[in-house]
Each structure stands twice: as structure tokens, then as C-alpha cells.
Amino acid sequence: MKIKNKKILILRNELFSIKKPKHSLKNIKNWYSNIIKNSKVRVKKIDLKDCKDWSFSKKNIFHKSNKFFKVEGLRVINSYKREVKVGWDQPILTEPNFKGGILGLMRKNINGTPHYLVNAKFEPGNFRLIQISPTLQATFSNISRAHKGNSPKYLKFFLKPKSNNCEVYFKQWFSEEGGRLKHKRNLGIIINNLSKNELEIENDFKWITLNQIKQLILENALINPHLRGLVSFI
């Protein structure tokens, strides 16, 4: 298949490059293991009625701000092409005020070798709680700080790449799994950071190569689905 986008061809060639990585694969695995070992985050089950700021109605489960996802009921009929031909009822997640999120991956040449900034990210439902994720993984409710917390790290590079000395290598909407998420999609973006200055990063972020991401995908539940999806087009 002929590839028209030269930047995509550049990325595709990087999949097979093993030259001069900043960190060895062993070092990356040790970094990931230490992040998990030193994490103080704990998750425990509670009753739905005890979820703070969440309410129930006859139609859905929702947050009092109306700025986060809802759980709604659906009835499927005439599903002749599916396993249950007569249809079924099920709950589904919806995001009433937002159309998805941003999945961003930052690329930068380090000592002549392209690297990508990944994040050891905690999510309460993750296997082992922490998985290696894209540079930026945020819903638009997170971006607007509906949770009253901090703005996602490195957000400015993806919202205004040119103003932050970056060029866009890839930008495309991705659809998400429709069996549990209603009309959910995310904007996938890969940017190339052209700055010659070193980017200050925190301990839960690390520069790794595309080839190393490919190798880590072969590990059990280490790379999260969003990072896996971002590199899948290459």
C-alpha cells in the first residue's frame, strides 16, 4: 500500500529502528515496576449509594455537575445479525456534554534518535492499577477541569502545537468500543517537539522509542489500550 503522508512513513520506519535508545528495555521495565511498587494509591469497592456527588434517577446514574459520564439504559431490537437475535436490554456509558477526549503522543529527537513521551498512568479499573499510557490522555471534562483539579500535564503542546514549537504528525478521530460506550470517540494526535531544549518531565513520565513501545505491547497488560490504539495506524 502506497503511503501518501511522508510523516506517517517516517513513523513507520521508526517501528523497526533500534539505534541509540535513551533507556534500555530493562531500564524501562524497572521504572514501571518501581512506579507500581512506590504508588500509594489504593482502590476499594463501595456501594453505589455511597458514591459522593453521584445520584440515581429512573433513567440514569449521573454526577450532580452533569459534566461527567452517565449510565443509561438501552433496549436493542431486531438484532438479527447478533448472537441474541430478538434483542436485549443493557446499561451503557454516555458523555452528555462532551464529544470525547484527546489521546496525545509527543515525539522528540534525543541524541539523534526519535523518542516518545509516555506516562505510567493510574486508572482505578486498570489491571495492576497503573499502565503505560500516551503523553496526554484526557476527556474534555478533564481538560475543562470540571473535576476542580489540576490541568492535564503537557496539554498546551497539543492544544496549541505551533505556539509551543511543535508540528503535528498525525491527527485523527478514533471511535471507541460501542458495546459499553455510546457514541464515544477520541482525538488521536502525534506531535513532534522541535525545541532543542530538554523538556522537564516528572518521574511518572519517560522517553522511549517506537520500537520499544512495540516490544512492550507484547508484555502482559503493560501498555494501555489508548497507547496501543495510537500506534496501531503505523
d(CA 134, CA 205): 10
CATH 3.90.79.40 occupies which residues in the chain? 6-42+98-232
Burial of 228 per CB tally in 10 Å (0-12, 13-18, 19+): middle
d(CA 214, CA 36): 21
Across all residues in the chain, what is the average pLDDT?
Answer: 90
pLDDT tens for each residue of 79-117: 888 888 889 999 999 986 666 789 999 999 999 999 999
pLDDT at 1: 41
DSSP state string for 130-168: EEEE-SEEEEHHHHTTTTSSPPPTTHHHHHSTGGGTEEE
With b for 16 or more beta-carbon neighbours within 10 A and e for fewer, the 184-212 pattern comes to bebbbbbbbbeeeeeeeeeebbbbbbbbb
d(CA 222, CA 119): 12
Q: Could you tell me the pLDDT band of residue 213, with boundaries at 50, 70 and 90?
A: very high
Q: How many CA atoms lie within 13 Å of 77's alpha carbon, on the beta-carbon side?
A: 1
Residue 192 has pLDDT above 90, yes or no: yes
CA nearest neighbour of 208 among 120, 134, 117, 137: 117
pLDDT at 98: 62
CATH class assigned to 6-42+98-232: alpha beta
* Cα 79–chain centre separation: 31
Q: Could you tell me the pLDDT band of residue 2, with boundaries at 50, 70 and 90?
A: very low
Q: Which residue do the cell numbers 434517577 mark?
A: 57
Per the model's pLDDT, the better-predicted residue between 141 and 160 turns out to be: 160
d(CA 148, CA 8): 37
d(CA 198, CA 187): 27
d(CA 201, CA 198): 9
* Residue 207, amino acid: W
Q: What is the mean pLDDT of residues 163-188?
A: 91
Q: What is the mean pLDDT of residues 11-32?
A: 90
* Three-state secondary structure call for residue 150: coil
Q: How many residues does the chain have?
A: 234
